[in-house]
Amino acid sequence: MEIFRTREREEAYSWSSSATCVLHHNCIPVFVDIDFKTMNIDVNKIEEKITEKTKGIIVVHLHGLPVEMDKVLKIAEKYKLKIIEDACQAHGAKYKGKNVGNFGDSAAFSFNQNKCLCSGEGGMFVTNNEEIYNKAKMLWSFGETRAPLENRDYHAYALGWMYRNNDLTAAFGRAQLKKLDWYLEVQKKNAAVLTDILKEVEGLILPFVPEECEHNWYNYTIRLDMDYFGVKNEKRKFRDYVLKAIQAEGVKW
């Protein structure tokens, strides 16, 4: 998870679920500052936040840009911590040629209506660890240990919810999966065109992609260079005024 500091105040910069999932399990999320260039967690600041109570690291591949996983893996190994990848926005994104979701002990993908891989709603949990998989199954189905198609004893062995998907949504998701590579290629080409158009516009900070990362372009993030515009205070207001001006020119929000 990340934290974003401005001169006015300190703000959490991530999707809320990346923190509330920790709270749901009676733990306390600890935020780490972001790398301003990538807008992802600053991997060089993770270690300073680790204490004897730390159990794991959640890395959020925000906007579809992979986190620098090599350093995260080294830190996790050093302190014997679990790694959870929040890949909900990062379907098909790669770090050093390897798809995100394959680095940590487990990972989550979202199939929400606006994601690169969409089934309308829902998501997917992935892991190669059988123990974690079995615990996840109990969360998935009322804390029981058997799948709905198996004989049930109606005993709850853990705190669980009803996370089961339905056949129609799953079928739609599987059909979309066949098209994912094509979708990502289109997004990559569109991002390249947009970058070429905007690169000469002064005062904009365009997305930065490290050499070892392959962005899926779920979001194309554009920031305003406040130093260029001479804005020292009330940067949020300035940003909002710029957005209103763009909308007044006919750009849809």
- Residue-level pLDDT at 8: 42
As a whole number of angstroms, the distance between CA 99 and CA 87 comes to 10
Answer whether 160's CB lies under 8 Å from 138's CB. yes
The 10s digit of each residue's pLDDT in 185-211 is 999 999 999 999 999 999 999 999 999
Q: 224-247 burial, b for 16+ CB within 10 Å, e for fewer?
A: bebeeeeeeeeeeebeeeeeeeee
Report the predicted TM-score, pTM, of the whole model to 2 decimal places.
0.89
Kindly state the average pLDDT of the residues 94-108: 97
- Residue-level pLDDT at 25: 84
As a whole number of angstroms, the distance between CA 183 and CA 180 comes to 5
The 10s digit of each residue's pLDDT in 212-246 is 999 999 999 999 999 999 999 999 999 999 999 99
- Residue-level pLDDT at 252: 80
Cα 171 to its chain centre, rounded Å, is 24
Q: Quick check: 174 pLDDT over 50?
A: yes
- Residue-level pLDDT at 11: 54
Q: Quick check: 1 pLDDT over 50?
A: no
Residue 238 placed within a domain: no
Q: In terms of domains, do 115 and 148 share one?
A: no
Q: In terms of domains, do 118 and 134 share one?
A: no
pLDDT band at residue 134, thresholds of 50, 70 and 90?
A: confident
Q: In terms of domains, do 8 and 58 share one?
A: yes
Give the residue numbers spanning the domain of 82. Answer: 1-122+165-221
Percent of the chain at pLDDT > 90 equals 74
The 10s digit of each residue's pLDDT in 2-55 is 443 444 444 568 888 899 989 988 899 999 999 999 999 999 999 999 999 999
Answer whether 42's CB lies under 8 Å from 68's CB. no
State the CB neighbour count (10 A cutoff) for residue 24: 12
Q: In terms of domains, do 59 and 25 share one?
A: yes
- Residue-level pLDDT at 148: 61
In the three-class reduction of DSSP (H, G, I as helix; E, B as strand; rest coil), residue 104 is classed as coil
What is the total count of domains within the chain?
A: 2
Q: In terms of domains, do 102 and 118 share one?
A: yes
Answer whether 34's CB lies under 8 Å from 13's CB. yes
pLDDT band at residue 138, thresholds of 50, 70 and 90?
A: confident
Q: In terms of domains, do 52 and 86 share one?
A: yes
Residue 126 β-bridge partners: 107
The 10s digit of each residue's pLDDT in 22-35 is 998 889 999 999 99
Residue 58 placed within a domain: yes
The 10s digit of each residue's pLDDT in 82-97 is 999 999 999 999 999 9
How far are the Cα atoms of 62, 132, 176, 194, 197 from residue 218, in angstroms, in the given order?
Answer: 9, 28, 16, 14, 19
pLDDT band at residue 103, thresholds of 50, 70 and 90?
A: very high
Q: In terms of domains, do 179 and 204 share one?
A: yes
- Residue-level pLDDT at 43: 96
Residue 1: both structure tokens together: 């998870």
Residue type, 91: H
Q: 57-96 burial, b for 16+ CB within 10 Å, e for fewer?
A: bbbbbbbbbbbbbeebbebbeebebebbbbbbbbbbbbbe
Of the candidates 89, 70, 65, 72, the one whose C-alpha atom is nearest the C-alpha of residue 32 is: 72
Residue 51 placed within a domain: yes
Range scoring the smallest mean pLDDT among 149-153, 160-164, 180-184: 149-153
Residue 248 placed within a domain: no
- Residue-level pLDDT at 6: 41
Q: In terms of domains, do 155 and 192 share one?
A: no
Q: In terms of domains, do 189 and 169 share one?
A: yes
Query: Rounded to 5 degrees, what are φ and ψ at 57?
Result: -125, 125
Residue 20 placed within a domain: yes
**Which of 141, 160, 179 is at the close of a domain?**
160
